[in-house]
Structure 1
Amino acid sequence: MTLLLQVADTAARLLDTTTQAATQVSQIPDQELRFGDLLIKGGWIMLPIGLLLVLALVIFFERYFTIRKAAKNESHLIKQVRDSIESGNLQSAIAICRNSNSPLGRMLQKGLLRIGRPIKDIEGAIENVGKLEVAKLEKNISIIGIVAGIAPMFGFLGTIAGVIKIFYDISKTDNISMGVISGGLYVKMVTSAAGLLVGIIAYVCHNILNMMVDKMILKLETDAIEFIDLLEEPSK
């Protein structure tokens, strides 16, 4: 009988201990770290890094859609210009190029306005307009390249700021516990990661736009050569 009482008492104590532990666990505040809180822990250095990201994305999308619009298929333009020239209607060909409102149209228009001069002069005029059109397409792309270079530097600056904060907190509290140095570690790691991430994004965007421009240049050169061949045909 005594043994049964002891077993019952032990079981009651275990149940009471388990209940208390469950209650304590339920009272522990939620320590889950959210993404927004993590960014805030990076400190003031996250502001310029964020602004660099916004700048790079705004320029990227603006240039992306501009280049795509300029790179639309202009095969019908070449055909219409060819038909007008073969029919002897030069003014119609010029009007077609003017109304196209495209880099190729402006190049061909300049060439058509030079008809009657030596082919070398026509080629030179088309080439000069082509350079101006390419410069327009490349507008502000270099800024994305600058962002790709300096964003990691801001991250490194945040790393230095985090280390300074760690030593400052230690000197202030005379304590090297994890709780004291964690603030500086947050600044150090978050800013480094953010700077590298923004740099990678900007680098990828910069190269995508450069590839699109290079493809556009090749297309313009091909169409320009076809146009010059068209002008030389009657003289053959």
Structure 2
Amino acid sequence: MSNRLFDLVMQGGMVMYPLMGLSVATLACGLDRGLFWYRLSRHEQRVAHDVLEAAHYDLDQAIAIAERANDQPIARFLLAPLKLRHPTPETFRLALEAAGDKEFVKMHKGNKLLESTVGLAPLLGLLGTVTGLIQTFGNLNIGGGGTTASATKAAAGIGEALISTAAGMLIAIFALALFRLLVSFQAREVDYFSEVGTELELIYRQVWYAPAPNGNGQASYPVDPIPEEGYPVR
């Protein structure tokens, strides 16, 4: 199998070398991103649930839970506003948005590589087609009563053209499929972050924050929640 693959690469001409480089980079990107999303999906919902549940009763406990799961993007996202000291709701939301943007940048890792591969691989394959056809025409002995050797060289040029074209298309198709899959994961994650962040902000507003009693519309610092059933005083 490996010998067959090596023979195809050799028959495809010089263009096959950058194509193989793109294929290796795309495969490595796919493995890296697959491991990232697998780890994320295993613990994300549990971490978010535990932090939100603790935030109803004790912000320090919620912070501790988020810090223990600091390897999870959702934990870092929720921890950012919780670590602030007496933030206003506006500051709380800004901290969520800033942390979310930072995590989304990490989630988009590899997108540029895949986009470049989708664009470059077919063009490199087309370049291989052109060089193969040039070699073919150069080996044709038109009107000279051709020989078996010239026919063999012409066939090699045609093979180079077809192999490089097929390789470029296959690599581009794989990179595009992987890119679209990652984009769908990223879009789903944006929605989930928005949902969880909104829930945490509502908890902060309703349980831990009270407006200033002076009536001038200015916000004060968080206070202990009013004793209610299920919400013990800190």
TM-score range, shorter chain: 0.7 to 0.9
Aligned counterpart for 2:94 among listed residues 104, 124, 133: 124
Tell me whether 1:182 sits opposite 2:151 in the alignment: no
Distance in 1, Cα, partners of 2:155 & 2:117: 29
The farther-off stretch of 161-170 and 175-184 is 175-184
- More helix per residue: 1 or 2? 1
Report if the CA contact (8 A) 1:97-1:105 is conserved. Answer: yes
Q: CA deviation at 1:121?
A: 0.9
For the structure 1 residues 191 and 76, does the alpha-carbon distance in structure 2 shift closer, same or farther, using more than 3 Å as the test? closer
For the structure 1 residues 43 and 224, does the alpha-carbon distance in structure 2 shift closer, same or farther, using more than 3 Å as the test? same
Report if the CA contact (8 A) 1:56-1:143 is conserved. Answer: yes
Query: Partner residue of 1:154?
Result: 124
Query: Partner residue of 1:109?
Result: 79
Distance in 2, Cα, partners of 1:175 & 1:71: 67
Quote the RMSD (CA, aligned, Å).
Answer: 2.3
- Tell me the percent identity: 24
Q: Any gaps of 5 or more consecutive residues in structure 2?
A: 211-234
Amino acid at match of 1:137: M
Distance in 2, Cα, partners of 1:217 & 1:223: 10
Amino acid at match of 1:164: I
Say how many residue pairs are matched.
Answer: 202
Q: How does 1:1-236 map to 2 (within 5 A)?
A: 36-87=6-57, 89-101=58-70, 102-114=72-84, 116-170=86-140, 174=144, 178-234=151-207
Which structure has the greater CA radius of gyration? Answer: 1
Distance in 1, Cα, partners of 2:184 & 2:192: 12
Q: CA deviation at 1:223?
A: 0.8
Report if the CA contact (8 A) 1:151-1:198 is conserved. Answer: yes
Q: CA deviation at 1:174?
A: 4.4
Distance in 1, Cα, partners of 2:44 & 2:200: 12
* Matched residue SS, 1:116: coil
Q: Any gaps of 5 or more consecutive residues in structure 1?
A: 1-33
Report if the CA contact (8 A) 2:59-2:82 is conserved. Answer: yes
